[in-house]
Chains A and B, each alone.
Chain A
Amino acid sequence: MSDHHHHHHSGSHSMHGKNFIILPLVFCILILGICYLVAMPKLSTYVAIAKGFFSDNVKDFSDEYRNIFVPIAEEEEEPETSGSTETAKPRNNKTVPISSIEFPRYGDQFGELIIEDCQIDVKFFFGDSRKELDYGVGMFTGSFIPGYGGTIMVAGHNNTYFNKLKYADIGQKVKIRTSYGNYTYEINKIDVKRYTDKTSYDLDAKEENLIMYTCYPFDTLGMTSKRCFIYAKYISGPVIDKNA
Chain B
Amino acid sequence: MSSSKNKRSRIKPILYNFLAFSMAFILFAATGAIILKATVFSRDYMITTMGDTGYYPMVKDEFRTHMKNLGHASGLSDEFVDEFTEEIDFRMEITQYIESFYSGEKTLVNTTSFKQTLKNKVNRYIEDNHIDKEKASEADIDYMISEATDIYVRQISIPFFSVIANYIHNLSTPLTITIVVLILLAAGIGCILYFTNEYKHRRYRYLCYAFTTAFLLDTIIPSFIFITGIIGKVNLATRSLYSLFVGYFTGMFSYFYLFAGFNLLMAVVCFFLFYTSFKKAIGKA
Complex Cα gap A219–B229 (Å): 48
Contact call B216/A28, Cβ cutoff below 8 A: yes
- Chain B residues with CB under 8 A of A31: 21, 24-25, 28, 213, 217
A217 to B140, CA, bound (A): 11
Main secondary structure of the interface of B (DSSP, over half): helix
CB–CB A160/B278 < 8 A: no
Distance, CA A75 to CA B102, complexed state (A):
66
Answer yes or no: B236 CB below 8 A from chain A CBs: yes
Instruction: Given A32-B220, A159-B72, verify A3-B200 contact (CB < 8 Å).
Output: yes
> Is A23 an interface position by the 8 A CB rule?
yes
Contact A159 B198 (CB under 8 A): no
- Interface residue? A223 (CB, 8 A): yes
Minimum CB–CB distance for B137 against chain A, Å: 6
Distance in angstroms from B1 CB to nearest chain A CB is 15
A70 to B272, CA, bound (A): 71
Of A24, A58, A219, A224, the most chain B CB neighbours within 10 A belong to A24
Q: Which of these binds chain A: B63-71, B82-90, B92-100, B177-185? A: B63-71
Which chain A residues border B24 with CB–CB below 8 Å? 24, 27-28, 31
A34 cross-chain contacts in B, Cβ below 8 A: 25
Q: Is B223 in the interface zone, CB < 8 Å from A?
A: no
Range, interface on chain A: 35 or more
Q: A27-B213, A159-B73, A215-B74 are in contact. Are A222 and B144 (CB under 8 A)?
A: yes
Q: Report B250-279 CB contacts with A as 1/0, cut-off 8 Å.
A: 000000000000000000000100110110
Check B216 against A4 for contact (C-beta < 8 Å): no
- Closest A residue to B28 by beta carbon equals A31
Q: Which of A33-78 contact B (CB under 8 A)?
A: 34, 53-59, 61
Choose one: A2, A55, A223; the contact of B73 (CB below 8 Å). A223
Given contacts A4-B281, A27-B21, contact A222 B230 (CB under 8 A): no
B235 touches A219 (CB 8 A): no
Residue among A19, A24, A55, A159 making CB contact with B213, cutoff 8 Å: A24
> B281, A28: Cβ atoms under 8 Å?
no
Write the residues of chain B forming the contact surface with A, with a CB cutoff of 8 angstroms. Answer: 17, 20-21, 24-25, 28, 65-66, 68-76, 122, 125-126, 131, 135-137, 139-144, 146-147, 198-201, 205, 208-209, 212-213, 215-217, 220, 229-230, 232-236, 238-239, 242, 271, 274-275, 277-278, 280-282, 284-285
Can you list 28 pairs linking A and B with CB atoms under 8 Å apart? A1-B198, A2-B281, A3-B199, A3-B277, A3-B284, A4-B281, A15-B274, A19-B209, A21-B212, A23-B17, A24-B216, A25-B216, A31-B213, A58-B232, A59-B233, A130-B66, A130-B69, A157-B72, A157-B73, A219-B75, A221-B131, A221-B136, A222-B74, A222-B136, A222-B139, A223-B73, A223-B140, A223-B147
